[in-house]
Amino acid sequence: MDERLKPYDEKMKKAYDFLATDFSTIRAGRANPHVLDKIKVDYYGTPTPIQQVGNITVPEARMIQIAPWEKSLIKDIEKAIMMSDVGITPSNDGAVIRLVFPELTEERRKELVKEVKKKGEDNKVVIRNARRDGNDAFKKLAKAEVSEDEIKELEEQLQKLTDKYIKDIDKLVEEKSKEILTV
SS3 for 137-157 is HHHHHHHCCCCHHHHHHHHHH
Given this model, what pLDDT does residue 29 score? 65
CA gap 174, 96 in Å, rounded: 36
Q: Which fold has domain 33-100?
A: Gyrase A; domain 2 (3.30.1360)
- Element housing 27 (H / E): none
Given this model, what pLDDT does residue 183 score? 63
The string of pLDDT tens digits covering residues 113-143 is 999 999 999 999 999 999 999 999 888 887 7
Query: What is the CATH number assigned to the segment(s) 3-24+105-181?
Result: 1.10.132.20
Given a cut of 50, the residues of the chain with pLDDT beneath it are none
Q: Count CA within 13 A, CB hemisphere, residue 81.
A: 24
CA gap 73, 179 in Å, rounded: 34
Instruction: Tell me the three state secondary structure of residue 71.
Output: helix
Given this model, what pLDDT does residue 171 score? 95
C-alpha separations of 12 from 19, 20, 94, 116, 159 in Å: 11, 12, 46, 18, 12
CA 143 remoteness from chain centre:
40
Q: Where are the domains of the chain?
A: 3-24+105-181, 33-100
